[in-house]
Chain A
Amino acid sequence: MARRKGIVETHSYRTFLIVAAFIFILPIWARPIPGEALHMDIVNLMVLTGIYACAVLGLNLLLGYAGQISLGHAAFFGIGAYTTAILCTRFTWFPTWLGVILGASLAGAIGWLVGKPVLRLKGNYLAMATLGLGEIAFILFSQLKGLTGGTVGMLNIPPLSIFGLKFDTDIKFYYLVWAIVLVIMLLTINLVLSRVGRGLRALHSSEVAADAMGVNTGSYRVKVFVWSAVLAGLGGALFAHFQLYINPESFTFALSILFVTMVVVGGMGDIWGGLVGVVALTFLPSIIQVFPEWIPGIPESLTNFSNYALVLYGLLLIIFMIFLPKGLSYGMERGVAAGRRSAKLLLDRIRAHD
């Protein structure tokens, strides 16, 4: 058994190394894809993927491991973004990296304030409460005009610079974001393989039994919620310094749903799955955008992804919940295993035939 457990662990860390190596070399051969129809800037999209991955890694801990739903994580993403945007545009001397840290911290602090009372609720009630949080945050972003610039948003956010090193190109930002994501990833793997990870999964499965076995479920719920808020805030702050422009439209209900969809599509309670979900759904709009251009006479409204994004996310949620509740990565694993089995069967038959 000691050996077996060892294998499970090294398996996780080996995957980590492979992913890290892949991310390191990706920009070297991933030039923007030329051609009329499919114009995808992979590095640019991967930056966005990394930014979303911060939030989704946290949400996966909350939703996939601890089993607590949040339909309002766009609020924390937005709080992170606005905090650093406001600080860095008001005070031009303000260090941008400090803005990012404060953005993540404020998101965590608000997560704690909200989470304390709200996490006593379960299931549908928790979903409702977090939904409300998302809506309140959106309204505040739009209405606190003096602070946030209202619906117009905030312009001229300075690019991120850390000790004189300016992250003002896609490729520089790419390496920065993914270094951060990989660190979070490593922390998350460590966490889920530990007693805390087991406690969270126990809480997911049976709260009464987890309580009885000595897991302080109340405290675990708040801590994992706050941590997920911090990570969403961090993602949001990076988003602000990457786009250099934010407005409330970036932090709507659709974003909260996008995060949940990423977790579900990738695989709840599966760190690597979460990452697969983020990649798939961040690239999806660019891929889908191509098709309407091929169909002549298609209405203008269908060429804009944001017009039907929510419909698509909803559909994906339904389809995955029914057919692939364990997510894309599990489905791929199963597919590969099935492929291997049938290939082996075929080989055996051929051999038997000989």
Chain B
Amino acid sequence: MNESILEVEEVTKLFGGLAALDDVSFSVEAGEIKAVIGPNGAGKTTLFNVLTGVYRPNSGRVILKGKNIIGSRPDQITAMGMIRTFQTVELFEGMTVLENTMVGCHSRSKYGFLSNSLRIPRAMREERRIFEEAMQILTDVGIETRASDEGMNLAYGQQRMLEFARALASQPEILLLDEPAAGLNPYETGELSNLISKLRDRGLTIIIVEHDMGLVMGISNDIVVLDYGEVIARGTPDVIKNDPKVIEAYLGIGTE
């Protein structure tokens, strides 16, 4: 298929003596939807935190587009084209839907304290561009009519969409989704599934941590199963569904 855009190589992250991630390796190909599943406490969110530079792993490498990003700051990783959403919605309080989305444009804009204080024309042009891009993304996600409302005042499903919009504003190549369907009703989950497929068709690479097996099996090309910080299986949805180790560790009763 395609070349790999992200390589996770032998990553280990210890908390005290406990290995939250134990020698985890997998690779992600450009344009695929990769799902990471596993029971609670399997290390999925820790994995995201390592990928996005929040945690530094004890050993191992993460290669993003050919460059080792271990030790890079979260904002630097975002600027390299990999951005995440959060399991618990982390919108910016007191900021409008539009402003929230505009913050997502941060990594692709550069004018700082001085230029903006002095309102130099180039900084003003950049502001204009940020505004227009953010509005366009809100339109894409379908919440542009709420642009001037405070983000926190949206219904939960729309808050999720806003988180999406904010992440997309950075024009990422890789989108990390941490349980995006959590708290959504079946209709909203369906919408979400459509949106994710649409983004993939546009060329985005997506890594998704999710408990909703219907969603995971329906959209992902490839699945990595974590249990106690170790990769216990990987493969296409069909392979995973029938893997005895996975059934034992996780799916168990879940397989219909």
Contacts and interface: CB of A to CB of B under 8 A. Distances in A.
B148 A202 contact: no
B107 interface: yes
Contacts of B84: 212
B191 interface: no
Interface in B163-209: 166-167, 170
Contact of B117 (A187, A211, A213, A214): A187
B118 A187 contact: yes
A269 B94 contact: yes
A161 interface: no
A194 B99 CA distance: 10
A1 B135 contact: yes
A208 interface: yes
A195 B117 contact: no
A198 B95 contact: yes
Nearest to A199: B106
Nearest to B86: A209
Contacts of A198: 95, 99, 102-103, 106
A348 B256 CA distance: 63
Interface residues of A, number: 33
Contact of A194 (B95, B104, B116, B135): B116
A191 interface: yes
B67 interface: no
B47 to A, nearest CB: 15
B116 A1 contact: no
Most B C-beta atoms less than 10 A away, residue of A201, A223, A224: A201
Q: For chain B, give the interface size range.
A: 35 or more
Contact of B92 (A205, A211, A214, A227): A205
B83 A212 contact: yes
Interface string A223-248: 11001000000000000000000000
A224 B117 CA distance: 12
Contacts of B248: none
A253 B130 CA distance: 42
Contact of B103 (A2, A187, A215): A215
Given A195-B127, A212-B54, 10 more contacts: A4-B148, A191-B117, A196-B113, A202-B103, A208-B86, A209-B91, A210-B92, A212-B86, A213-B106, A214-B83
Which 10 residue pairs spanning A and B have beta carbons closest together? A214-B107, A194-B116, A209-B90, A214-B78, A211-B74, A214-B106, A187-B117, A205-B93, A205-B92, A191-B117
19 contacts: A1-B147, A188-B117, A194-B116, A195-B116, A195-B127, A201-B95, A205-B94, A206-B90, A206-B91, A209-B90, A210-B103, A212-B74, A212-B84, A212-B86, A213-B78, A213-B83, A213-B107, A213-B170, A223-B112
